[in-house]
Amino acid sequence: MDTTPESYLDLFPLEAIVYLTPDSENVLEDIDPDKVYVLGGLVDESIHKHLTLRRAREQCLQTARLPIREYMVKAPNSRNYHSETLAINQVFDVLSTYYETRSWPAALRAGVSSGKGYVLPDTAEQ
Protein backbone atom coordinates (compact mmCIF):
# COMPACT_ATOMS: atom_id res chain seq x y z
CA MET A 1 0.00 0.00 0.00
CA ASP A 2 1.23 3.47 -0.86
CA THR A 3 0.11 6.71 0.74
CA THR A 4 0.24 10.16 -0.77
CA PRO A 5 -1.27 13.57 -0.06
CA GLU A 6 -2.43 13.72 -3.69
CA SER A 7 -6.05 13.11 -4.61
CA TYR A 8 -7.00 9.82 -6.24
CA LEU A 9 -8.72 11.98 -8.86
CA ASP A 10 -5.33 13.35 -9.88
CA LEU A 11 -3.57 10.00 -9.82
CA PHE A 12 -5.91 7.66 -11.70
CA PRO A 13 -8.25 7.88 -14.70
CA LEU A 14 -11.88 8.28 -13.63
CA GLU A 15 -12.90 5.10 -15.44
CA ALA A 16 -10.44 3.08 -13.34
CA ILE A 17 -11.82 4.25 -9.98
CA VAL A 18 -14.54 2.41 -8.07
CA TYR A 19 -15.75 4.23 -4.96
CA LEU A 20 -16.93 1.75 -2.33
CA THR A 21 -19.93 2.95 -0.39
CA PRO A 22 -22.63 0.98 1.46
CA ASP A 23 -25.27 3.09 -0.29
CA SER A 24 -24.40 1.98 -3.83
CA GLU A 25 -26.95 0.00 -5.81
CA ASN A 26 -24.09 -1.89 -7.50
CA VAL A 27 -22.79 -5.03 -5.83
CA LEU A 28 -19.06 -5.71 -5.90
CA GLU A 29 -18.93 -9.20 -7.39
CA ASP A 30 -15.19 -9.49 -7.96
CA ILE A 31 -12.02 -7.46 -7.56
CA ASP A 32 -10.62 -6.23 -10.86
CA PRO A 33 -6.84 -5.75 -10.66
CA ASP A 34 -7.13 -2.99 -13.28
CA LYS A 35 -9.40 -0.93 -11.02
CA VAL A 36 -8.56 1.34 -8.10
CA TYR A 37 -10.89 0.94 -5.13
CA VAL A 38 -11.54 3.94 -2.93
CA LEU A 39 -12.86 3.17 0.53
CA GLY A 40 -15.44 5.83 1.24
CA GLY A 41 -14.86 6.72 4.85
CA LEU A 42 -16.24 9.25 7.28
CA VAL A 43 -14.77 10.18 10.62
CA ASP A 44 -17.93 10.89 12.54
CA GLU A 45 -19.96 9.50 15.43
CA SER A 46 -23.15 9.33 13.36
CA ILE A 47 -23.93 7.84 9.98
CA HIS A 48 -24.75 10.30 7.23
CA LYS A 49 -26.78 8.26 4.77
CA HIS A 50 -25.75 8.61 1.13
CA LEU A 51 -22.95 11.13 1.82
CA THR A 52 -20.24 8.93 0.30
CA LEU A 53 -22.54 7.98 -2.59
CA ARG A 54 -23.23 11.66 -3.30
CA ARG A 55 -19.51 12.41 -3.19
CA ALA A 56 -18.78 9.64 -5.70
CA ARG A 57 -21.56 10.80 -8.01
CA GLU A 58 -20.34 14.39 -7.86
CA GLN A 59 -16.94 13.09 -8.98
CA CYS A 60 -18.54 10.98 -11.77
CA LEU A 61 -17.15 7.76 -10.32
CA GLN A 62 -18.37 4.19 -10.50
CA THR A 63 -19.66 2.93 -7.17
CA ALA A 64 -20.08 -0.47 -5.56
CA ARG A 65 -20.95 -1.96 -2.19
CA LEU A 66 -19.79 -5.11 -0.49
CA PRO A 67 -22.15 -8.08 -1.04
CA ILE A 68 -23.33 -8.23 2.57
CA ARG A 69 -27.03 -8.64 1.70
CA GLU A 70 -26.20 -11.30 -0.86
CA TYR A 71 -24.20 -13.56 1.47
CA MET A 72 -25.32 -12.69 4.99
CA VAL A 73 -28.60 -12.67 6.88
CA LYS A 74 -29.93 -10.39 9.58
CA ALA A 75 -29.33 -11.93 12.96
CA PRO A 76 -32.05 -11.53 15.58
CA ASN A 77 -30.85 -9.21 18.30
CA SER A 78 -32.41 -7.32 21.19
CA ARG A 79 -31.77 -3.89 19.67
CA ASN A 80 -33.06 -4.89 16.21
CA TYR A 81 -29.86 -3.31 14.88
CA HIS A 82 -28.53 -4.10 11.41
CA SER A 83 -25.92 -2.00 9.62
CA GLU A 84 -23.97 -2.49 6.42
CA THR A 85 -21.74 0.46 7.24
CA LEU A 86 -18.28 -0.77 8.18
CA ALA A 87 -15.16 0.94 9.43
CA ILE A 88 -12.39 1.40 6.88
CA ASN A 89 -10.25 -1.31 8.48
CA GLN A 90 -13.17 -3.75 8.28
CA VAL A 91 -13.68 -3.02 4.57
CA PHE A 92 -9.95 -3.45 4.01
CA ASP A 93 -10.04 -6.80 5.85
CA VAL A 94 -12.96 -7.96 3.70
CA LEU A 95 -11.24 -6.95 0.47
CA SER A 96 -7.88 -8.43 1.48
CA THR A 97 -9.43 -11.73 2.51
CA TYR A 98 -11.53 -11.91 -0.65
CA TYR A 99 -8.47 -11.22 -2.79
CA GLU A 100 -6.60 -14.07 -1.06
CA THR A 101 -9.43 -16.61 -0.88
CA ARG A 102 -11.81 -15.59 -3.68
CA SER A 103 -14.57 -16.43 -1.20
CA TRP A 104 -17.09 -13.79 -0.18
CA PRO A 105 -18.30 -15.83 2.81
CA ALA A 106 -14.74 -16.13 4.13
CA ALA A 107 -14.08 -12.46 3.46
CA LEU A 108 -17.27 -11.28 5.14
CA ARG A 109 -16.61 -13.55 8.12
CA ALA A 110 -13.20 -11.88 8.46
CA GLY A 111 -14.43 -8.29 8.30
CA VAL A 112 -18.06 -8.00 9.39
CA SER A 113 -18.35 -8.18 13.16
CA SER A 114 -21.45 -9.75 14.69
CA GLY A 115 -22.16 -6.38 16.27
CA LYS A 116 -23.32 -5.18 12.86
CA GLY A 117 -26.30 -7.53 13.13
CA TYR A 118 -25.39 -9.68 10.12
CA VAL A 119 -24.11 -13.25 10.12
CA LEU A 120 -23.48 -15.91 7.54
CA PRO A 121 -26.46 -18.25 7.12
CA ASP A 122 -24.58 -21.22 8.63
CA THR A 123 -24.11 -19.28 11.89
CA ALA A 124 -27.54 -17.64 12.05
CA GLU A 125 -28.97 -20.06 14.59
CA GLN A 126 -25.95 -20.23 16.88
Phi, psi (degrees; rounded to nearest 5) at 114: -65, -20
* Catalytic residue (one of 2, 10, 34, 44): 44
44 a catalytic residue: yes
Sequence-separated (6 or more) residues with CB below 8 Å from residue 103 = 97
- Of 49, 35, 48, 28, residue with least CA distance to 94: 28
Query: Can you tell me the distance from the alpha carbon of 93 to that of 124, in angstroms, rounded to the nearest whole number?
Result: 21
User: Do residues 66 and 29 lie in contact, with contact meaning Cβ atoms separated by under 8 Å?
Assistant: no
DSSP state of 101: H
Active site residue ranges: 44
